[in-house]
Amino acid sequence: MKRKATRHALLYVGVALTCAILVFPIYWLVVTALSEPSQLRQLPPSFWPDKPRWGVFGQIMAERPILLWLGNSALAAIGAVTISMVVSVLAGYSLSRFRVRGGQSLGLFILTAKMLPATLLVIPLFGIFRNLELIGSLWSIILAHATLIIPFTTWMLKGYFDTIPRELEQAAMVDGCSPLGALVRVILPVSAPGLAATALYGFVLSWSDYAYARTFLTNAQGNWTANLGITTMKGEYISNWSDISAASILVALPILAIYLFLERYLVGGLTAGAEK
């Protein structure tokens, strides 16, 4: 019995140590944000500020257009997710329920599209958007983010619809629902958790983008997204690490919140389409 207790204690120490090391960079981000800039230039460093300046978040929002950046990121993400969800709900349902000529090759193509490098697509998209005079407008990244999101959401939703028994629509149609009515009134309500998880996953993809925002929006300061804004702060001659850290926390918070909510569904999202 004693051996088992030792093993158990070792396990706890191991887990605690691993978590501490791996999460430390995030902890350090928080410490940096809460420290006075002058304090950061002291050695040895202090691992918790004497007087945490909790006001830093309000202050940074007043000094920098963080709220504008966050708002732009949110607008872009909502736009891209809305477009993607509409087309992927329909496509995912079709791929799950119908055998359509070319459906399988479409599925395979979408799967491959998930693996496309952004640095490849960004060049032709830049040319196309310039013709359409979309460079500098949020529409450019809404459309570009849709290229990232649609492949994911279509496969996630197809997988989700596959788990819903066909008898549900069957019953609805016997009761006089049209096939589309069955989708809207029966299948979508039952799939609400899956739809929410999928949409949030798309939101994370859009929110995390840097390449497209950097290319299409650099010259349109008013439309900068959060990630783009943060990198310009980092690029300034004298980096004020506490301000950058505080701003970074504000940018990361929505994604952290989504992660806590999504954790259960994460595996489904990450592997969507990985299975045949």
Partner 1 sequence: MPRSAFLDLARPSRRHWLGYLLLAPAVLLIALIIVYPLFVSVDLSFQNVNIARLDQPRRPFTTANYERLFASEEFWNACWVTFKLVTIVSFFCFLLGLGTALLVNNRFKGQALARLLVALPWAIPEVIAVVIFAWLFDSSFGLMNWLFIRLGLVDQTINWFSSPDAAFAVVTTVMVWKGYPFVSIMMLAGLQSIPEDFYNAAKVDGARAWQRLLYITIPSLMPVIGVTLVLVMLWVFRDFSIIYVLTGGGPLKATQSLSIMTYEQAFGFFKMGYASAIGVITLIVCVIASRLMIARAPDNI
Chain residues 218-257 in contact with partner 1, contact rule CB under 8 A:
227, 230-231, 234, 241, 244-245, 248, 251-252, 255-256
- Note whether 131 binds partner 1 by CB under 8 A: yes
CB of 90 to partner 1, least distance (A): 4
DSSP at 45: P
Provide the mask over 156-195, with x wherever binding to partner 1 is found by CB under 8 A and - wherever it is not.
----------xx-xx--xx-xxxxx---------------
Which of 103, 222 has the CB closer to partner 1?
A: 103
Contact indicator for 94, 100 with CB cutoff of 8 Å: yes
- Note whether 90 binds partner 1 by CB under 8 A: yes
- Note whether 100 binds partner 1 by CB under 8 A: yes
> Which residue from 61, 68, 74, 118 is in contact with partner 1, where contact means CB under 8 A?
118
H-helix or E-strand spanning residue 8:
helix 2-34
- Note whether 261 binds partner 1 by CB under 8 A: no
- Note whether 1 binds partner 1 by CB under 8 A: no
C-alpha span between 111 and 228 (Å, rounded): 28
- Note whether 124 binds partner 1 by CB under 8 A: yes
Provide the mask over 39-68, with x wherever binding to partner 1 is found by CB under 8 A and - wherever it is not.
-xx-xxx-----------------------
CB of 274 to partner 1, least distance (A): 5
Which residues neighbour 235 within 8 Å (Cβ) at sequence distance 6 or greater? none
Greatest CA span in the chain, whole angstroms?
75
**Exposure b/e, 19-56, CB count within 10 A at least 16 = b:** eeeeeeeeeebbbbbbbeeebbeeeeeeeebeeebeeb
Helix (H, G, I), strand (E, B) or coil at 230: helix
- Note whether 13 binds partner 1 by CB under 8 A: no
* Per-residue tokens: 70: 């966050």
